């Protein structure tokens, strides 16, 4: 039907189509520049392999009297022995190869002299730490000759992947990461679903308080739960160590508890969005059909929330698998993929192997994207133009059960936050428990005192405003436009990617991409702009999913009606779509705000002198051993974010009261 | 470099000095020291303004290497010599003999001529021992590295993972140098039996010892002294065999647009006055005769420093780390 109408009023629609496509193009371009190109630059490193090319070097050895013999190529020397001295010449970017093994008679005390050179400028070698290249001969005594090490040459290939899958200590992380992510996903999504259900479908008391408390974990840097868990459960000094029954919190247990804590609000946002808009008529229908509550739950509630549940699972899984902060602090010896990237890139400066691990991390995301495409086809809009908003009815027993359940979750969240605050006030844990405000002396703070706090605030505001506009427009274009299927599918794919990219990888990808002098966008490097772009991009997926989930619940009939009334889509967008989606839009902006306040992993590579950030200060203080000041600064971020959320709640209530009055109708 | 157009513009707007130069300086020095260093330098050279970019050693090193094709830093002031050796091998440093370099202990100057980097202060390995936990668990204070392999210490030792931490590598490389290759690995095999956890940060083991989470943390003296000053019940032990060390060092980044100002700064970083500043936090500095004892630093630290072969460490790092990972990484996971 829509297609027929479309044909008849072609001129009007044509203009809309072009407007829509150009908007989509702009946002598509944004995702290409801010995400796809940097990632390709970074991930292509996974295919840079290194090996020592012996054939590029020649040597001349003298006798003890100093008369030089013939020129010999190293490759011949290597082949002279059987088996060859060096059988495997593959290495990594930092590889160095000493060559004295090629000379069976070598002794550093011998008076024999050596002449050495490379055949061309690509033949690089070090004498000690000094770099040499090229065809010029150098003459060395035996003791200096042993200081020669060859440097590898680079080519393209799959050798890094072979190395990865044949190194047990690396490969084992795949299993560990999948296990932890799967366990956490099941726990978090179940907990968050019942919590969201209690908020949306029950008449329990103090909903506002519970909603606030449940969002708290998102307000603190992910490092803080690590600190709190240590204070609470560590095997020696933990306040509640008896609860661990002799198990060590440092390891899988700690990672799972901490991950549930920090992923809970993410899941809750998405599931709440899915449950908040529902059509009361379906429940009325179920009731009049005498369906039991149980049956209604499985045939109306769950199918309606299915997309949200899946999105939440996808988000939680990827958050856990890409997070390195928590396993780094509380993971003990349990290797996880994201920590491996840290070890490779930060510990060993091996960007190539870091890129390989990053690509392995992408696999679950790509799988999830495939499932997402299939699920989308089955998704039905819940809020049609004729929908009636569902109003939960009071149910004494049920409401008290939900209240009890929600209280337990709230105690868990508040407990962890309270321990962080406690940590910030203690002078020297656990030996001097006197309280002190010394840790709030931010004049000594890492990264420029209060200015870093102001920078963080500015970053958060800019990210919230710019990000919300970009994300919501993008989601609208994907969801509500017709035609241009390929473009929309690509766009949707790109929008899901950031979730699967560890921030660290994104940060380094930005260095490689934006710090290239040939890049016309080079000028944003080292400015606030690159921090905003990286942060919006890093948190794109959840924002996008929130927007899409909200938009999906609006019937396409709105568009059809608007089209048949010959209204431009922009009018529909402003008059209907935005007001109806306002809860989601506000959620996206606050989500971006608080994450910009707490994010570390991408921006740690991108901030410069004038754009130092408070969250980075927390990380650095913790690394430097100043746990209490780190907790203090972390709590500053928490209070700022809490303030922002309270403001957000007030604004939401007023705006919603005004713009959603129609729903009550 | 485009970045400087903004900086220069800002400087012009503030109408300070017509000759003012902005230097971007990358560093891993503790944040609270940076202000002191810049202040002292600016007292003499008010026209050179330092823009610090500070982060942990690993992050700064990775950032410098990633920016290799379009360097943003003019000077590196306070980064591990091991990292600078890596950059030297990549041709990323500008060789320069600062005025007065002959005054420094040669141990603290790069071996090339002219040198690619000059040292500031030493960053020495040490063992942090928690006296309260030691007494409670009946674990005596160790005096040597060899002691740590005694079964009495089983589960009481935490050390940094050399694959993530420079301090961890410093320990491993020093054991290989002191005990020989075979002896070194034998030692680590035995030590591994007693290790309860490998951390990703070099300061963490001492922090954990200070917080009573472990009895013994293999870390570095500077960290230990800080924890002790904060009131933690720890002793900083210098093992009798000797201790590994690295130094914080300074270099000019090749390709800097402000070479002259960079040289002025580096000249100043090796002065006696600058070394006196380094001495406020570090017991061992590059300028002979400057070092005053620093409170809470253990005695005999200087004499215990091994004759560290940085070249050996740099050129064998890859192999050592791979060997370490195949022996101990992930295998320590219970199950």
Which domains, from first to last, does chain A contain?
7-44+165-658 (1.10.3720.10), 53-151 (no CATH)
CA distances from A373 to A31, A498, A583, B237, B299 (A): 19, 17, 25, 61, 67
CB of B23 closer than 8 Å to CB of B258: yes
| CA angle A334–A335–A338, rounded 5-degree value | 130
Lookup: tokens for B13: 């707007």
3-class SS of residue B127: strand
- As a whole number of angstroms, the distance between CA B99 and CA B106 comes to 14
What is the distance, to the nearest Å, from the Cα of residue B201 to the centroid of all Cα atoms in its chain?
A: 12
Q: Which residues pair with B220 in a beta bridge?
A: B125
pLDDT attached to residue A387: 65
Under DSSP, the state recorded for B326 is H
Minimal C-alpha gap between A279 and chain B (Å): 50
CB contact under 8 A, B330 and A173: yes
Return the H-helix or E-strand segment holding A374: helix A351-378
Phi and psi (nearest 5°) for A41? -60, -45
Interface of A with B in 593-612 (CB under 8 A): 604-605, 607-610
Interface of A with B in 28-87 (CB under 8 A): none
Interface of A with B in 357-396 (CB under 8 A): none
Unique residue bearing structure tokens 């008010």: B46
Contact residues on chain B for A130, CB-CB shorter than 8 A: 88, 112
Minimal C-alpha gap between A167 and chain B (Å): 8
- Give residues with Cβ within 8 angstroms of A119, minimum separation 6: A55, A56, A57, A58, A135
Under DSSP, the state recorded for A84 is -
CB contact under 8 A, B311 and A129: yes
CB contact under 8 A, B310 and A516: no
Residue B122 has pLDDT above 80, yes or no: yes
CB contact under 8 A, A511 and B67: yes
Contact residues on chain A for B211, CB-CB shorter than 8 A: 237, 429-430, 627
Confidence of residue B330 (pLDDT cuts 50, 70, 90): low
Which runs of consecutive H residues, i.e. helices, occur in A202-242?
Answer: 207-215, 223-233
- As a whole number of angstroms, the distance between CA B301 and CA B290 comes to 15
Instruction: Indicate the residue of B67, B197, B326 with minimum beta-carbon distance to A332.
Output: B197
Is A529 an interface residue toward B (CB < 8 Å)?
Answer: no
3-class SS of residue B62: helix
Under DSSP, the state recorded for B95 is -
Interface of A with B in 125-164 (CB under 8 A): 126, 128-131, 147, 149, 151
Q: Label each residue of A442-468 as H, E or C.
A: HHHCCCCCHHHHHHHHHHHHHHHHHHH
CB contact under 8 A, B32 and A346: no
CB contact under 8 A, B315 and A250: no
Whole-structure pTM value: 0.86
Confidence of residue B25 (pLDDT cuts 50, 70, 90): very high
3-class SS of residue B55: coil
Specify whether the backbone of B172 is left (phi greater than 0), alpha (psi in -120 to 50) or beta.
alpha
Confidence of residue B168 (pLDDT cuts 50, 70, 90): very high
Minimal C-alpha gap between B31 and chain A (Å): 5
Phi and psi (nearest 5°) for B277? -65, -45
pLDDT attached to residue B54: 85
- As a whole number of angstroms, the distance between CA A524 and CA A622 comes to 29
Contact residues on chain A for B66, CB-CB shorter than 8 A: 351, 508, 511-512, 515, 605
- Give residues with Cβ within 8 angstroms of B98, minimum separation 6: B118, B263, B266, B267, B269, B270
- Give residues with Cβ within 8 angstroms of A485, minimum separation 6: none
CB contact under 8 A, A515 and B51: no
What is the distance, to the nearest Å, from the Cα of residue A77 to the centroid of all Cα atoms in its chain?
A: 49
CB pairs under 8 A between A and B: 187
pLDDT attached to residue A384: 58
pLDDT attached to residue A142: 92
Instruction: Indicate the residue of B61, B212, B317 with minimum beta-carbon distance to A430.
Output: B212
Query: Pick the residue with more confidence: B13 or A85?
Result: A85
Confidence of residue B332 (pLDDT cuts 50, 70, 90): very low
Contact residues on chain A for B24, CB-CB shorter than 8 A: 608-609
CB contact under 8 A, B211 and A237: yes
- As a whole number of angstroms, the distance between CA A2 and CA A563 comes to 9
Specify whether the backbone of A110 is left (phi greater than 0), alpha (psi in -120 to 50) or beta.
beta
Strands (E), B1-70: 21-27, 48-54
Phi and psi (nearest 5°) for B124? -105, 135
Residue B3 has pLDDT above 60, yes or no: no
HSE at residue A255, side-chain half, CA atoms within 13 A, is 30
Which range of A276-280, B204-208, B249-253 scores highest in mean pLDDT? It is: B249-253
Minimal C-alpha gap between B236 and chain A (Å): 16
CB contact under 8 A, A129 and B214: no
Unique residue bearing structure tokens 């939440």: A312
Cross-sheet strand order for the sheet of A153-156: A90-91, A48-51, A153-156
CB of B27 closer than 8 Å to CB of B78: yes
- As a whole number of angstroms, the distance between CA A261 and CA A419 comes to 14
pLDDT attached to residue A4: 46
Choose the mutation target among B22, B35, B62, B222 for the interface with A, i.e. most A CBs under 10 Å: B62
What is the distance, to the nearest Å, from the Cα of residue A407 to the centroid of all Cα atoms in its chain?
A: 30
Choose the mutation target among A514, A623, A626, A628 for the interface with B, i.e. most B CBs under 10 Å: A623
The pLDDT averaged over each successive group of 10 residues in chain A (665 residues) is 45 67 83 92 91 94 91 92 87 90 90 93 90 92 92 91 87 90 96 93 88 89 86 82 79 92 90 78 81 82 82 87 84 87 87 89 76 66 62 83 94 92 82 76 59 90 95 86 77 84 87 89 91 94 85 76 78 81 88 91 84 85 76 89 90 77 53
- As a whole number of angstroms, the distance between CA B208 and CA B214 comes to 6
Residue of A nearest to B111 (CA): A129
3-class SS of residue B25: strand
- Nearest to residue A241, comparing CAs of A253, A224, A223, A256? A253
Unique residue bearing structure tokens 């968050």: A192
DSSP secondary structure of A506-575: HHHHHHHHHT-TT-GGGGGTTSHHHHHHHHHHHTHHHHHHHHHHHHHTB-THHHHHHHHTT--HHHHIII
CB of B286 closer than 8 Å to CB of B115: no
CB contact under 8 A, B31 and A446: yes
pLDDT attached to residue A1: 40
CB of A96 closer than 8 Å to CB of B316: yes
3-class SS of residue A90: strand
Instruction: Indicate the residue of B24, B30, B90 with minimum beta-carbon distance to A624.
Output: B30
CB contact under 8 A, B198 and A515: no
Contact residues on chain B for A351, CB-CB shorter than 8 A: 62, 65-66
CB contact under 8 A, B316 and A96: yes
Domains of chain B: residue spans and CATH: 2-122+246-298 (3.40.190.10), 124-244+305-328 (3.40.190.10)
Confidence of residue B334 (pLDDT cuts 50, 70, 90): very low
- As a whole number of angstroms, the distance between CA A240 and CA A234 comes to 8
CB contact under 8 A, A167 and B111: no
Interface of A with B in 191-230 (CB under 8 A): 230
What is the distance, to the nearest Å, from the Cα of residue B64 to the centroid of all Cα atoms in its chain?
A: 16
Strands (E), A27-112: 48-51, 57-62, 68-73, 90-91, 97-98
Lookup: tokens for A397: 């027993």
Lookup: tokens for A65: 């009297």
Contact residues on chain A for B233, CB-CB shorter than 8 A: 431
- As a whole number of angstroms, the distance between CA B288 and CA B104 comes to 6
């Amino acid at each position: 039907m829509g297609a027929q109408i479309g044909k008849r009023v072609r001129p009007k629609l044509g203009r809309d189509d072009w407007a829509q496509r150009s908007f989509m193009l702009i946002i598509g371009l944004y995702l290409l520049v801010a995400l796809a190109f940097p990632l390709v630059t970074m991930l292509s490193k996974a295919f840079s392999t290194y090996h020592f090319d012996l054939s590029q070097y020649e040597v001349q050895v003298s006798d003890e009297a100093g008369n030089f013999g013939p020129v010999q190529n190293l490759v011949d020397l290597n082949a002279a022995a059987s088996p060859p001295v060096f059988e495997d010449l593959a290495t990594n970017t930092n590889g160095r190869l000493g060559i004295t093994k090629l000379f069976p008679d070598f002794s550093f005390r011998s008076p024999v002299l050596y002449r050495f050179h490379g055949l061309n400028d690509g033949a690089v070698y070090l004498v000690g730490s000094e770099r040499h290249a090229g065809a010029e001969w150098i003459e060395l005594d035996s003791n200096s000759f042993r200081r020669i090490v060859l440097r590898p040459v680079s080519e393209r290939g799959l050798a890094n992947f072979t190395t990865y899958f044949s190194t047990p200590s690396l490969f084992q992380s795949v299993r560990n990461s999948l296990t932890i992510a799967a366990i956490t996903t099941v726990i978090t999504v179940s907990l968050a679903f019942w919590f969201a259900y209690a908020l949306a479908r029950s008449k329990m008391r103090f909903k506002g308080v519970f909603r606030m408390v449940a969002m708290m974990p998102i307000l603190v840097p992910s490092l803080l739960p690590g600190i709190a868990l240590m204070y609470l459960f560590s095997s020696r000094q933990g306040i509640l160590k008896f609860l661990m029954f002799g198990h060590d919190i440092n390891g899988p247990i700690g990672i799972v508890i901490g991950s549930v804590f920090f992923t809970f609000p993410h899941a809750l946002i998405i599931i709440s969005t899915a449950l908040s808009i529902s059509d009361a008529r379906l429940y009325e229908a179920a009731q009049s059909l005498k369906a039991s509550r149980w049956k209604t739950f499985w045939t109306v509630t769950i199918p309606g929330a299915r997309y949200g549940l899946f999105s939440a699972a996808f988000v939680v899984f990827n958050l856990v698998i890409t997070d390195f902060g928590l396993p780094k602090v509380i993971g003990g010896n349990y290797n996880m993929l994201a920590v491996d990237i840290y070890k490779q890139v930060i510990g060993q400066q091996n960007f190539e192997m870091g890129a390989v691990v990053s690509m392995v991390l992408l696999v679950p995301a790509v799988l999830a994207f495939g499932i997402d495409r299939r699920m989308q086809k089955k998704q039905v809009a819940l809020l049609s133009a004729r929908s009636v908003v569902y109003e939960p009815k009071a149910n004494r027993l049920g409401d008290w059960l939900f209240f009890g359940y929600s209280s337990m979750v709230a105690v868990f969240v508040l407990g962890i936050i309270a321990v962080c605050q406690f940590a910030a006030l203690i002078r020297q844990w656990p030996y001097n428990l006197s309280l002190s405000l010394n840790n709030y002396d931010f004049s000594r703070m890492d990264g420029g005192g209060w200015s870093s706090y102001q920078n963080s605030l500015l970053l958060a505001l800019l990210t919230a405003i710019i990000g919300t506009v970009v994300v919501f427009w993008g989601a609208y274009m994907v969801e509500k436009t017709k035609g241009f299927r390929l473009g929309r599918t690509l766009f949707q794919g790109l929008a899901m990617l950031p979730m699967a990219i560890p921030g660290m990888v994104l940060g380094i990808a930005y260095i490689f991409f934006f710090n290239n002098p040939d890049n016309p966008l080079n000028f944003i490097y080292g400015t606030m702009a690159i921090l905003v772009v990286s942060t919006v991009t890093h948190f794109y997926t959840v924002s996008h999913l929130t927007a899409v989930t909200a938009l999906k619940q609006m019937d396409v009939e709105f568009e059809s009606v608007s089209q048949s009334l010959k209204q431009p889509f922009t009018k529909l967008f402003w008059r209907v779509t935005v007001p109806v989606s306002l809860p989601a839009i506000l959620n996206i902006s606050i989500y971006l705000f608080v994450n910009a306040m707490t994010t570390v992993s991408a921006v740690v590579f991108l901030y410069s002198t004038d754009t130092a950030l408070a969250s980075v200060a927390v990380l650095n203080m913790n690394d430097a051993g100043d746990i209490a000041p780190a907790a203090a600064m972390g709590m500053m971020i928490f209070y700022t974010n809490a303030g922002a959320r309270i403001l957000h709640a007030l604004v939401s209530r007023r705006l919603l009261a005004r713009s959603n009055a129609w729903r009550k109708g | 470099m485009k970045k400087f157009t903004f900086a220069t513009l800002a400087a012009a707007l503030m109408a300070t000095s017509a000759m003012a130069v902005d230097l971007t300086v990358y560093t891993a020095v503790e944040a609270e020291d940076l202000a002191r260093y810049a202040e002292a330098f600016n007292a003499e050279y008010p026209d050179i303004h330092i823009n610090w970019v500070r982060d942990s050693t690993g992050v700064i090193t990775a950032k410098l290497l990633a920016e290799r094709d379009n360097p943003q830093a003019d000077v590196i002031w306070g980064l591990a010599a091991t990292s600078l050796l890596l950059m030297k091998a990549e041709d990323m440093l500008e060789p320069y003999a600062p005025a007065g370099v002959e005054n420094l202990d040669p141990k603290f100057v790069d071996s090339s001529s002219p040198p690619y980097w000059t040292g500031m202060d030493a960053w020495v390995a040490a063992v942090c021992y928690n006296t309260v936990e030691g007494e409670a668990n009946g674990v005596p204070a160790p005096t040597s590295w060899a002691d740590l392999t005694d079964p009495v210490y089983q589960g009481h030792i935490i050390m940094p993972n050399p694959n993530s931490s420079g301090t961890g590598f410093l320990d491993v490389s020093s054991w290989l140098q002191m005990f020989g290759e075979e002896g070194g690995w034998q030692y680590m095999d035995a030590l591994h039996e007693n290790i309860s956890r490998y951390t990703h940060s070099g300061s963490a083991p001492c922090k954990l010892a200070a917080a009573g989470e472990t009895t013994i943390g293999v870390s570095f003296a500077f960290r230990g002294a800080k924890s002790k000053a904060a009131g933690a019940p720890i002793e900083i032990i210098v093992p009798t065999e000797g201790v590994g060390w690295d130094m914080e060092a300074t270099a000019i980044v090749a390709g800097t647009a402000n070479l002259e100002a960079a040289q002025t700064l580096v000249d100043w970083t090796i002065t006696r006055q600058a070394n006196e500043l380094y001495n406020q936090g570090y017991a061992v500095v590059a300028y002979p005769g400057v070092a005053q004892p620093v409170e809470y630093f253990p005695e005999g630290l200087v004499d215990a420093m091994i004759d560290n072969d940085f070249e050996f460490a740099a050129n064998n790092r890859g192999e050592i780390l791979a060997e370490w990972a195949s022996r101990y990484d992930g295998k320590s996971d219970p199950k």
